[in-house]
Amino acid sequence: MGAYLTRRVLLMVLTLFGMSVLIFVMLRLVPGNIADILVDSAGIADPKEKAKIAAELGLDRPIFDQYLQWIGGLARGDLGFAYVSERPALEEIAPRIPISAKLAGLALFYSVILGLPLGVISAVRQNSAIDYLLRLISLSGLSLPSFWLGLLILMASVQWFGMIPIYTNEPRSFIDEMLLLSIPAAAVGFRSSALIMRLTRSSMLEVLRQDYIRTARSKGASQTTVNYVHALRNALLPVVTIIGIEAAFLVGGLIVTETVFNIPGVARFLVEAILWRDYPIVQNLVMLIAFCVVVVNFLVDMAYMALDPRIKYAD
Amino acid sequence: MRNRLAIIAGGLAAAVVIAAPAFAQKQGGTLRVSHRDNPPSASVHEEATISVNMPFMSVFNNLVFFDPKEKINSPDKIVPELAESWSWNADKTKLTFKLRSGVKWHDGKPFSSKDVKCTWDALSGIDEKQEMIRKNPRKVWYKNVKEITTNGDNEVTFTLAREQPSFLSMLAAGYSPVYPCHVDSRTMRSKPIGTGPFKVADFKRNEAIKLVRNPDYWKKDRPYLDAIEFKIVPNRSTRVLGFVAGEYDLTFDSDITFPLLKDVKAQKADAICEARPTNVHTNLLINRDAPPFDNPKLREALVYSLDRKPFSDILSQGNDLRGATMLPPPAGVWGMTQDELQKLPGFGPDIEKNREVARGLMKELGYGPDKPLKIKVATRNIAIYRDPAVILIDQLKQIYIEAELEPIDTTIWYNKIQQKNYQVGLNLTGAGLDDPDGVFYENFYSTSDRNYTAYKNPEIDKMIDEQSAMTDLNKRKAMVTKIEQALLKDGARPPIVHGVSNTCWAPAVKNVVLQHNSIYNGWRLEDVWLDK
């Protein structure tokens, strides 16, 4: 197990290194850089102005030097300077991470807390009215884009309650913040909960037909024990995989939800930074996301072991 | 005696009546404004967008200013600001300002004539080493400035190479604040220091721009507001819903399109909304340096192909204005009347007749229904650019041109235009100032930094210089019309429509005066107050 963990950690480092090279090169392959954008935004046609800004930001140096400077800084915890705001990138990124992390965490919490039990209910009550209703809801969850759902929620709030649940001022307490984030989190989490529900349902249906379930029933175990102790645990493996994947995909959902609900999180900031070709911000944020995805994948693999004792990671 | 008493009593009564509105104004409160995007920076001199002017104009003062109480910016409506008075010498080449004393920058340092000198030394390019600006988009505005001299702390003189009546107008624009000599350009881009009614408290990208009252403002009873918060809300639907829900007191400038106006009024009946021209016009860019549009006849055919009414009907429910390069009256001071416009090529009321001319030209060049000219219409990949481009493509079919839309990412749009890597482009041009010097020098003068189509016509340059020096208003207007005709004939950015849009505010917001011939002026906000 120890050797396996070492291999995994090394693989994670290698993946992150590959990611750093990829994002660095890809950003520079995309046409236009910050000097173009800054000068163009003022409608100036003079190439000398662009060259001056590019030199000031070090964009005229060889790409390998630029990469070494960035990766060296990253290793030392120095994320460089944001091109647009001209402030340290860390100062720009750090306050936004907790906001998005809370939103993503809450959305994931919603998806699991709704998706799992409803999936079980739907499987256990297969082809009943409640199953049809839950399948309809899950289908709508998969079909409704989160930005559209978000806008509908905003319109309904304004129309019926005369208020708009958007992020206007910094919340005064943690509870306030959770309340404020709960609506956008529901908008983002709805899709994931629908996916988890459908997968839980199909996985449960498969498990419920297994011999050991029949054995548990014949031994007199209650329906709840059969469903939640014997069946659900065994049905969870594919669901855990999908939760891991969804956690990574949440970033995409966060971008639109943060925009619609005006949340000053990291996802919206990333899009803005891409549009401005603000390399230090984009590179560091993508690395952060890559790190999160790699860690979540690792945790998912560990969860397999906890859920199914037959799974062993050989040294 | 009785008569005298009656006169005094009457005078007092009249004074009370006149003064009553002044007493009604309330001090305090925070004005909440929705902002459409992150401004590229906070430095007004370095940028060319309302995203910067609207939030940061109230941080600064100009030497002179278009009267904020007037809706139309015109040369005869200029009032002093940091200058107490001004005077011209006999041959109108020296403009001397007497400056207000006792004015302080937001960091407590005193304002003086040196600040004025170093601001315009940097802007005019006399002193390129000035650290206060990194980009200078309006350098061409000050191409006629020869020298700036100070006489003590309270007097400054601009020496011009020749007479230029518009010079004072350019100094009065929202784009002409005085900057402090002692503050570097990076600070000016992130947390600028001014002498204006409000100080920058915070500028957080993707969140808000917070301004607070300047307690040391030289105008003792201003501003009325304690603070202004511009909330950055990139999604327009969220901004509009936020305004309807009372989260914002004022919408972003011209943010409410005509279709949206109906929704706003239906959901917030007491909202005050005002439509005004944005002085941003949609136009065509034609690449005259490469085939096929290096042929003047083909450019002329394009000019005759346009039917401006559908553009206005589709884009703004018929509210956009027909005009040439200069904004048409009544809001525009220099533009042509509708009668005059009709005489321009392609502006005649009989669209079919115009298109017949265009088709004739196309046939002369060998094109026809069986042999259409195939081109690409490039435009920025943003709805306000794409939508008119689609209408244009439809209209070009009428003159045997089969066009394909080429949406271009904003980040490379100007690059593409500068490199002449296009055939026809659909473009939007905003005027920071309703003045021929501002508009013509910026966009059509061969040496302008903002002439990104690299339009070069020595004849036009000569005419622009000529009108710029004219002191007789009527003669100058006639010359401006002549330039507009020549530009159109030459196919230089043929104008399509001038945009009109709405700005809305809650009834509690008082004293908002929108200026109707430039959205970039009039955002000092020192007279705005909240009746809450």
* B509 has a pLDDT exceeding 70: yes
Average pLDDT, chain B: 92
pLDDT-above-90 percentage for chain A = 57
The percentage of residues in chain A with a pLDDT greater than 70, rounded to a whole number, is 99
Instruction: Nearest by CB to B452, from A38, A41, A45: name it.
Output: A45
Q: Is the CB of residue A32 less than 8 Å away from at least one CB of chain B?
A: yes
Asked whether B434 and B518 are in contact (CB, 8 A), the reply is: yes
Of B231, B241, B448, the CB nearest to A154: B241
Whether pLDDT at B13 is above 50: no
d(C-alpha B312, C-alpha B255), whole Å: 17
Compute the average pLDDT of residues B482-489.
Answer: 92
- Judged against a pLDDT cut of 80, whether residue B18 lies above it is answered with no
Segment A118-128 shows an average pLDDT of 93
- Name the residue with tokens 């499987």: A123
Q: Write out the DSSP string of B314-382.
A: HHHTT-SB--SSSPPTTT-SSSPPHHHHTTSTT-SS-HHHHHHHHHHHHHHTT-BTTBPEEEEEEEESS
**Residue B43 distance to chain A (closest CA, Å):** 11
pLDDT at B15: 46
B8 pLDDT band (50/70/90 cuts)? very low
Instruction: Indicate if the pLDDT at residue A198 is higher than 90.
Output: yes
Residue B259 has pLDDT above 70, yes or no: yes
Q: Cα A229 vs. chain centroid, distance in angstroms?
A: 29
> What is the C-alpha to C-alpha distance for residues B530 and B532, in angstroms, rounded to an integer?
6
Describe the crossing of helices A34-41 and A47-56 by its angle, rounded to 10 degrees. 130
Rounded to a whole number of angstroms, the distance from the CA of A143 to the nearest CA of chain B is 21
**Computed from CA positions of residues A186, A191, A192, A194, in that sequence, does the dihedral angle turn out positive or negative?**
positive
Nearest chain B residue to A170 by CA distance is: B207
Length of chain A: 315
Band of residue B410 on the pLDDT scale cut at 50, 70, 90: confident
Mean pLDDT of A239-245: 87
**DSSP H/E element including B406:** strand B401-408
B235 touches chain A (CB under 8 A): yes
Comparing B125-129, B184-188, B418-422, the range with the smallest average pLDDT is B125-129
Mean pLDDT of chain A: 90
A302-A307-A310-A314 Cα dihedral, nearest 10 degrees = 0
DSSP A81: B
For residue B195, the model assigns a pLDDT of: 98
| Alpha-carbon distance B414 to nearest alpha carbon in chain A (angstroms) | 6
Rounded to an integer, what distance in angstroms lies between the CA atom of residue B325 and that of residue A175? 56
* CB count in 10 Å sphere of residue B15: 10
The size of chain B, in residues, is: 532
Q: Quick one: which of B349, B343, B358 has its CA closest to B395?
A: B358
Q: What is the pLDDT of residue A315?
A: 60
Share of chain B above pLDDT 70, in %: 95
Please list every residue in chain B whose beta carbon sits closer than 8 Å to the beta carbon of residue A32.
409, 411-412, 415
A255-288 confidence digits (pLDDT tens): 889 999 999 999 999 999 998 999 999 999 999 9
Alpha-carbon distance of A67 to A130, in angstroms, equals 56
The one-letter amino acid at B493? R
Per-residue pLDDT tens over the stretch B19-78:
444 458 999 999 999 999 999 999 999 998 899 999 999 999 999 999 999 999 999 999
Show the tokens assigned to B91.
């041959």
Are A40 and B414 a contacting pair at CB < 8 A?
yes
- The per-residue pLDDT for B315 is 92
Mean pLDDT of all residues in A2-19: 90
- Summarised one tens digit per residue, pLDDT across range B149-182 is 999 999 999 999 999 999 999 999 999 999 999 9
Tokens linked to A183:
């609506």
- Residue B137: which of A43, A86, A260 has the nearest Cβ? A43
pLDDT at A135 over 60: yes
Instruction: State the pLDDT at residue A314.
Output: 64
Q: Structure tokens of B21?
A: 């509105």
pLDDT tens by residue, B73-118? 999 999 999 999 999 999 999 999 999 999 999 999 999 999 999 9
> Within 13 Å, how many C-alpha atoms sit on residue A184's CB side?
31
pLDDT at B23: 52
Residues 6+ positions from A148 with CB-CB distance below 8 Å: none
Question: Rounded to whole angstroms, how far apart are CA atoms B203 and B225?
Answer: 19
Helices (H) and strands (E) in chain A, counts: 14, 0
- Considering CB atoms only, which of B207, B233, B450 is closest to A44? B450
Task: With beta carbons under 8 A apart, name residues in chain A contacting B134.
Answer: 52-53, 56
- Range B214-249 burial, b when 16+ CB lie within 10 A, else e: beebbeeebbbbebbbbbbbbbbbbbbbbbbbebbb
Express as a percent the part of chain B with pLDDT over 90.
85
pLDDT surpasses 90 at B415: no
Does B49 contact chain A (CB < 8 Å)?
yes
Among A48-52, A91-95, A177-181, top mean pLDDT goes to: A91-95
Enumerate the β-bridge partners of residue A88.
Answer: A81
Cβ of A151 under 8 Å from any chain B Cβ? yes
Q: What is the model's pTM?
A: 0.88
Residue contact B247–A168, C-beta within 8 A: yes
Token pair, residue B460, equals 């036009």
State how far the Cα of A131 lies from the Cα of A118, in Å rounded to an integer. Answer: 9
- pLDDT band, very low/low/confident/very high, at B7 (cuts 50, 70, 90): very low
Q: Cβ-count burial of A66 within 10 angstroms (0-12 exposed, 13-18 middle, 19+ buried)?
A: middle
Quick one: DSSP state of residue A30?
S
B411: which chain A residues are within 8 Å (Cβ-Cβ)? 31-32, 36-37, 40, 275, 277
Q: Average of pLDDT values for B483-511?
A: 95
Cross-chain residue pair A268–B449, CB shorter than 8 Å? no
Q: Which of B49, B189, B247 sits opposite A41 (nearest CB)?
A: B49
Strand segments, DSSP code E, in B43-181 are 64-66, 78-80, 83-88, 94-99, 145-150, 155-160
How far apart are alpha carbons B385 and B427 in whole angstroms?
7
Sequence-distant (6+) residues with CB within 8 A of A116 are A196, A197, A200, A232, A239
Are B134 and A53 an interchain contact pair (Cβ–Cβ within 8 Å)?
Answer: yes
- The continuous run of DSSP H or E covering B427 comes out as strand B424-430
- Is B474 part of the contact surface with chain A (CB cutoff 8 Å)? no
Is the CB of A293 inside 8 Å of chain B's CB atoms?
no
